[in-house]
C-alpha cells in the first residue's frame, strides 16, 4: 500500500469553493496535483486524456463543474448540461484508462425530484420529475453518479476500481462566487445587502416570496465529508450503499426559510433597511432538505454553525471586494 505522503491526488476544480477547501485540508498530508482552466480544459477530451497519461494519479476528487443560481440555470441551460456532462465523462473515463483506482464525484441535491418526500433520501433519485429551472444541471449530475456506478459494476472486480459519489445540500462559505447574476442565494444576498448598505438604499429586493425552505452546509464541512467518504473502507461504504444506489447525501440537517436567511445576512452585513420580497420572481423548489442518515451512520458529523459560517463568508467577501 502506498504511504499517504506518496499518494498523488488530483483535485479537479481546485479554484472553486469546494475544491479549494478540499485542497486546504489535503495538502498538509498528501501530494496534491492541480491545473487551472487555462492549463487544462476539462471539457476537451484529448487534453484530459493527455493529462492523465503524463501524470501518475492515484486518486481524483472531481469537484469541477459549471455552477450557478436560478438566473444562470434559466439563461444558459445548454451550457450547464453540456459542460458538466463533458467534464464528468472526460475525467472519469480518462481516470479509468490511466489506472486510477479511487475517485470521488461531487454532485448536488438538485438531482432529486421536485416533489420528493422530505427529507430527501438517496432512494428518491429518479423517482419523479425534476425542478424545471435546474433540470439540465441536475441531469448532468445524475449522469455523473451513473457513470461512477456503471464503471464500478463493469470493472470493479476486474480492475479494482472504487468510484464514489457525494451529494451535498446548498453550500456556502470561503471561496464562493459573488457574481451579481450567476451566484447562488447566500453569496448573492451577501453582495446585495453589502452594496445596499454602502449605497444607503432604504430597501433590498429579494427574489421570490421568501417562504421556500433551504438547508445550508458550510463548505469546510463538505470538504471534511469528502475526505471522510474517500477514505472509508470499501466494506463500510458498500455496507451502506448498493450497486445502483451508491451515492451519499451530505447536509447539516437544519433548514431555514429564505426570509430567515435574508434577515440573518442583513444582520451580519449590518444593513438596517427594509427587505422586499418580489413574488413575481421564481421561488424554485418549496423545500429542499436532504436525509443524511446514511453518512451520519458512518460516523461523520457537521461542525460549523450557520451564523458563524455566514460571518466567515462575509469576511471572505470583504477581502475580495474592498
For 55, 57, 103, 199, the CA distances from 100, given in Å and listed in that order, are 11, 6, 7, 52
Per the residue annotation, which of 137, 218, 271, 314 is the catalytic one?
137
Q: Is 204 helix (H, G, I), strand (E, B) or coil?
A: strand
Burial class (CB in 10 A: 0-12, 13-18, 19+), 313: buried
Distance in angstroms (rounded) separating the CA atoms of residues 207 and 281: 5
Distance in angstroms (rounded) separating the CA atoms of residues 100 and 235: 19
Instruction: Examine the residue annotation and report whether 137 is marked as an active-site residue of this protein.
Output: yes
CB neighbours of residue 88 within 10 Å: 25
- Entry field: residues in the chain: 322
Q: Is 102 helix (H, G, I), strand (E, B) or coil?
A: strand
Distance in angstroms (rounded) separating the CA atoms of residues 109 and 251: 9
**Start-to-end Cα distance in the chain:** 48
Catalytic residues: 137
Amino acid at each position: 500500500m502506498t504511504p499517504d505522503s506518496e499518494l498523488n491526488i488530483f483535485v479537479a476544480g481546485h479554484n472553486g469553493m469546494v475544491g479549494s477547501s478540499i485542497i486546504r485540508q489535503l495538502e498538509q498530508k498528501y501530494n496534491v496535483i492541480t491545473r487551472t482552466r487555462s492549463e487544462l480544459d476539462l471539457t476537451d477530451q484529448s487534453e484530459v486524456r493527455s493529462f492523465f497519461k503524463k501524470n501518475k494519479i492515484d486518486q481524483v476528487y472531481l469537484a469541477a463543474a459549471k455552477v450557478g443560481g436560478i438566473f444562470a440555470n434559466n439563461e444558459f441551460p445548454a451550457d450547464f448540461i453540456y459542460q458538466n456532462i463533458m467534464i464528468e465523462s472526460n475525467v472519469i473515463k480518462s481516470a479509468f484508462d490511466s489506472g486510477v483506482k479511487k475517485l470521488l464525484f461531487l454532485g448536488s441535491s438538485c438531482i432529486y425530484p421536485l416533489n420528493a418526500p422530505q427529507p430527501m433520501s438517496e432512494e428518491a433519485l429518479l423517482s419523479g420529475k425534476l425542478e424545471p429551472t435546474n433540470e439540465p444541471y441536475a441531469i448532468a449530475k445524475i449522469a455523473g453518479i451513473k457513470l461512477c456506478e456503471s464503471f464500478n459494476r463493469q470493472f470493479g472486480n476486474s480492475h479494482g476500481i472504487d468510484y464514489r459519489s457525494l451529494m451535498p445540500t446548498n453550500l456556502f462559505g470561503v471561496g464562493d462566487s459573488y457574481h451579481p447574476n450567476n451566484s447562488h442565494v447566500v453569496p448573492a444576498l451577501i453582495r446585495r445587502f453589502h452594496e445596499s448598505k454602502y449605497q444607503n438604499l432604504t430597501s433590498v429586493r429579494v427574489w421570490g416570496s421568501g417562504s421556500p425552505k433551504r438547508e445550508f452546509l458550510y463548505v469546510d464541512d463538505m470538504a471534511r465529508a469528502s475526505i471522510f467518504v474517500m477514505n472509508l473502507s470499501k466494506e463500510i461504504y458498500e455496507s451502506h450503499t448498493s450497486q445502483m444506489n451508491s451515492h451519499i447525501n451530505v447536509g447539516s440537517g437544519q433548514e431555514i426559510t429564505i426570509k430567515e436567511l435574508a434577515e440573518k445576512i442583513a444582520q451580519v452585513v449590518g444593513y438596517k433597511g427594509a427587505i422586499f420580497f418580489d413574488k413575481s420572481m421564481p421561488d424554485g423548489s418549496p423545500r429542499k432538505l436532504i436525509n443524511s442518515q446514511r453518512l451520519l451512520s458512518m460516523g461523520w458529523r457537521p461542525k460549523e454553525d450557520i451564523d458563524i459560517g455566514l460571518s466567515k463568508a462575509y469576511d471572505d467577501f470583504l477581502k475580495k471586494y474592498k
